[in-house]
Structure 1
């Protein structure tokens, strides 16, 4: 009999995040995730007390990888204009495949769910504040920096929706860098 790999809470959390990206919170179901991992529900209960605990772990993973880790990555760029460009490029998937936009869109229909709402609010606030600080560092007054952060964030969300609903209409592949440059030029124009 083959030896099965011992699953960790992280394995379950990653699988739940993938399910979330595919089908929203309804897809975070123990039995289908167990089947995708080649295990039983018993393994799940070894690591989590409930489906909600798994959903919370998946949301924390999404927040860490799609907000905290992305901010840490772009912070390595010392030039603010290039940092802003890097942030938009990463968010739109240029060169790095992140499931974040798919998760974000999948969560929109559940934005009022008691586990989802505070996470979306916290992440949105953090992202907008980070963007506003970037625009302020580029020399824009606080109110204008905030407005530009909203425009940048809605450009990201709009691109994600367009790429999801009508993939052929959204810039991708070799066209994406020129699109990112155009968006950055628009966002930083005086």
Structure 2
């Protein structure tokens, strides 16, 4: 699919969005200037206008992944309507839709690339820390908050990495039970 923008109008964000799409669809080995430029219908020069080299692109791509799959979600949770329990909103968002295929792709990349592995470790730490803070804000002790956050995060990873889908009604039943468990008294 060709990008409708002229080559000189492509932004670094356009390249990064294409990179996330390519990573998800074709894997980390496709994250090179030539195939990305071809997919966007432009020359490699446009790529190098924004990124010094492929390594710089990879670093920016991992940063974009963090922004899209974690920081934007946290920011939206921080704006949750009054009366909403942010953890419940997070759980509905994480388990109520489709799995994060980009997370699977980045985690696969992390098995062979130290920079990707460091990014995955950092994002796991960020997500866990944020979940813990939500539980503490709900009145749970730090120890219980840490345990529940870890359990729910492991559950999320299992959901994300699983290749087995559930029918929507069954997925909704499981989500309701997960929310019940998350909110059970300590």
Cα pair 2:96 2:172 within 8 Å, conserved: no
User: Is structure 2 residue 182 aligned with structure 1 residue 187?
Assistant: yes
Q: CA deviation at 1:124?
A: 0.8
Does residue 137 of structure 2 align to residue 123 of structure 1? no
Q: CA 1:4 to 1:130, structure 2 compared with 1: closer, same or farther past 3 Å?
A: closer
CA distance in 1, matches of 2:38, 2:58: 17
> In 2, Cα distance between the equivalents of 1:49 and 1:154?
37
Q: TM-score, normalised by structure 2?
A: 0.85
Structure 1 spans left out of the alignment, 5+ residues: none
- Give 2:156's aligned residue: 156
Give the equivalent residue in structure 1 for 2:91.
Answer: 88
Aligned residue pairs, count? 179
Residue 4 to residue 147, structure 1, CA distance change in 2 (3 Å) = same
**Is the Cα–Cα contact under 8 Å of residues 109 and 116 in structure 2 kept in the other structure?**
yes
**Partners of 1:84 and 1:134 within 8 A in 2:** yes
Match of 2:53 in 1: 50
Following superposition, the deviation at residue 91 of structure 1 comes to 2.0
Q: CA deviation at 1:84?
A: 0.9
Structure 1 moving runs of 4+ over 6 Å: none
Q: Alpha carbon RMSD of aligned pairs, Å?
A: 2.3
Match of 1:71 among 71, 74, 81: 74
Residue 109 of structure 2 aligns to a residue whose secondary structure is coil
